[in-house]
Amino acid sequence: MRGLSAFLLLLCLQRVMTDAATARRPNIIIIMADDMGFDDVSFRGGREFLTPNIDALAYHGRLLDRLYAPAMCTPSRGALLSGRYPIHTGTQHFVISNEEPWSLTLNATLMPEIFQRAGYSTNLVGKWHLGFSRPEYTPTRRGFDYHYGYWGAYIDYYQRRSKMPVANYSLGYDFRRNMELECRERGVYVTDLLTNEAERLIKDHAGKDQPLFLMLSHLAAHTANEDDPLQAPEEEIRKFAYIKDPNRRKYAAMVSKLDQSVGRVISTLANTEQLENSIVIFYSDNGAPSVGMFSNTGSNWPLRGQKNTPWEGGVRVAGAIWSSQLEARGNIFTQPIYVGDWLPTLAHAADIELEESDAHKLDGIDLWPQLAGAADAPHVPREILHSLDDVWRVAALQMGQWKYVNGTTAAGKFDTVLTYRELDDLDPRDSRYPVTVRNSAASRALSRFDLRRLTQQRIAAIRRSAAVRCADFQRSCNPLLEECLYDISTDPCEQNNLAYSSRHSDVLAALRRRVRELRAGAVTPGNRASMPAADPTWHTCTWESFELNKPGTVPLECDYHGVPCESNV
């Protein structure tokens, strides 16, 4: 009898809880890494340093096996927030350097605006990088109720200043709370600082009726300024003493801090009873720059190329999603998905109907039914334009299994596999990998919602299916001289050019035609030349909205600590 009433009570409770969950739109939490490599998470089998929290997100939720993004910060963030290809927002060529007066087109309705209108509290913590030379370009004028972080391309991990790799522009401070300079807690490691702020927002939100949209847009694992590019707390670096290369050791510490951030955010959601009704996404904005400008030692192994190249190493990124609404959580998601898909996909998940005028401009497609549905849902055939930059003459287009590449960046210097997978200097935790993952903060929080237990076998099976298997090398292609065609479903490492085979001439012609069609519909790139008035020396050593703000009369010497925060605020 007691058993029966307990059972009925449970049924009742379950009914109440389900009703509450459906009545309320889900919280959307997007955690973005900057310049982190495809193989710098351990869920594909890398063992040099582990990322147990990120791996747990993938194993309890869905590992996004073929998540694609434009190969650089500005176009990638622009595609995420607008749901459109960079050729449709003027961000198709390179990035916005801090001293340049332009932005993501003001024409586009951005994801935070859409969620704001639907009643969400919209918050950006961390990097923006979509323009700030006028106040109307900045996050709180583009749909975010709140911004805590920086406007530009990157900052120092402790002092929050940046110097662009452009002659004659000074070091400038770049950290704000909404439009105001934020000077408190300087010297705190930025990955922790941003995570603290995300935790505060999540805690403040507990018990409120309003749903939360939070984009935690990390600095990690981007480099800081050129004179000290890789920065992490000493005690974190010491954990990776077994890695011989001192730069790679620091990078491991930077990624480890990022991984802890993912664990902290998920635990905070759980501890405040908000996890069940949240969608949590983690991904990197683009591939790592393994070598060259802003090189952080990140690895896109075994893929070709890196950040700012048309190859898979630039555009296929590490990512995972969790939501209690995913029927097939605990399964890898192999459907190709583009960052521009998040806008319609998350709008669907939140039951937000897009206005016709916004919906018809989208290049992204709604993949919520596939993500939330059965593990074996058939793939939706789709197109992804990776790059169409007529300044550098690069075109890269994927249609279904086919990928077309015409032209490349940096005269082809970064077109090969630029890193290897470390097999000797291994993370000591690797010998107990499943235990390490299950003991992570993320796994402890997420396992409450598991449909089946995350066993050692299950972990091994997902990790095995996420391993990329390159086909044998067959026929090379020089994209500076010829068109290249790959079947990336069987040749993910782009080693067999099919453009010459007559069997593929129709496919090649179709891709070529589509590139021309897309080119005809492209807007002019928004890029503008650097403006001397942007120099922080004219704005009390701060990166300001320089197009409209009257410059100071006396340029300051900005190469020392604290000018904006200690003597001018």
Ligand X SMILES: *[C@@H]1O[C@H](CO)[C@@H](O)[C@H](O)[C@H]1NC(C)=O
The residues that touch ligand X, with contacts defined as CB under 6 A, are 89-90, 105, 107, 167-168, 393, 395, 406-407, 512, 515-516, 523
Q: Could you give the CA distance from residue 231 to residue 248 in angstroms, rounded to a whole number?
A: 11
Nearer to ligand X, 288 or 515 (CB): 515
Q: In this complex, which beta carbon is closest to ligand X, that of residue 141 or of residue 238?
A: 141
Between 219 and 397, name the residue whose CB sits nearer to ligand X: 397
Cβ atoms 437, 431 nearer than 8 A: no
Q: How far is the CB of 516 from ligand X (least distance, A)?
A: 5
Nearer to ligand X (CB atom), residue 168 or residue 247: 168
H or E stretch at 323:
strand 319-323
Q: Which helix (H) or strand (E) holds 126?
A: strand 121-127
- Answer yes or no: 129 catalytic: yes
Peptide bond before 221: cis, by omega within 30 degrees of 0? yes
Supply the minimum distance, in Å, between the C-beta of residue 479 and ligand X. 8
Which pair of structure tokens corresponds to residue 372?
A: 């939330």
Comparing CB distances to ligand X, the nearer of 1 and 167 is 167
Distance of closest approach, residue 558 Cβ to ligand X, in angstroms: 15
Q: Is 484 a catalytic residue?
A: no
Which are the contacts of 312, defined by CB distance < 8 A and separation ≥ 6?
A: 38, 300, 303, 304, 305, 488, 492, 493, 494
Minimum distance between the CB of residue 415 and ligand X, rounded to whole angstroms?
A: 15
301, 160, 298, 282: which is closest to 219 by C-alpha? 160
Q: CA Rg, the chain, in Å?
A: 23
For the bound state, the minimum distance from the C-beta of residue 373 to ligand X, rounded and expressed in Å, comes to 34
User: Which is the catalytic residue, given 60, 73, 539, 558?
Assistant: 73
CB of residue 169 to ligand X, shortest distance in Å:
9
3-state secondary structure of 384: strand
What does each C-alpha distance from 506 to 269, 394, 402, 474 come to in angstroms?
Answer: 51, 21, 12, 21
For residue 44, give the DSSP letter: G
284: three-class secondary structure by DSSP = strand
Q: Which residue, 448 or 516, is less far from ligand X as judged by CB?
A: 516
Which of 60, 88, 93, 129 is the catalytic position? 129
* DSSP SS3 for 475: strand
Residue positions annotated with a catalytic role: 73, 129
